[in-house]
Structure 1
Amino acid sequence: EDSKGVLHFPGFHEDTAKFLINERSVYGLGVDTLSIDYGPTKDFPVHYLWLGSGRYGIENLTNLDQVPLAGATIIAGAPKFKGGTGGPGRVLAVY
């Protein structure tokens, strides 16, 4: 966060999300940042596009550098929260 309260971290571009949906049939995104959108966004286009298409996004992951580029199985679990759109979860990479 800078002195004006604006967050700065990388995220997915809307065009990249469209490509992953339409050209690669990807169903989940995982990032080690606070959002699948980039930090200073105000309208969250990737959230609306990605989640609106029935896919899922997992944020605030750790140790991604230890997961191989290919061949891992991801296991993600989270409790349901009444009226909630997200919450804490447990994510494991098995390889």
Structure 2
Amino acid sequence: MDKTDTEQIGKSLAFVRDVVQRQRKLNPVSFALYVMWGVMLAGGMILIDFYPGAVGLYWVIMGTVGWTASLTFGWWGDRHYGHLGGPGDRRETLHWV
């Protein structure tokens, strides 16, 4: 191994270390979204027992609210906690669109 190989290995290890450190940061937004969906699900299940005629409307409204909140707060949380913003994000997003 020559000096350039050693330098490249060092850069690669530094990159991996940085990625691992960013992923270890706790993202409380993800936990809050799980709780939000749990509360909405519990509300829907209770509504089935007491007012079944409103369940369809409930899920149309709460599904839209939940989807919008998940998208908005999930994106914000990922940006805030460093999980988004890298050079490959646009390419990865376009892959899924």
Q: Place the TM-score, normalised by the shorter chain, in its bin.
A: under 0.3
Q: Normalising by structure 1, report the TM-score.
A: 0.25
Q: Normalising by structure 2, report the TM-score.
A: 0.24
Larger helix percent:
2
Larger strand percent:
1
Higher relative contact order at CA 8 Å, sep ≥6: structure 1 or structure 2?
Answer: 2
Structure possessing the higher radius of gyration over alpha carbons: 2
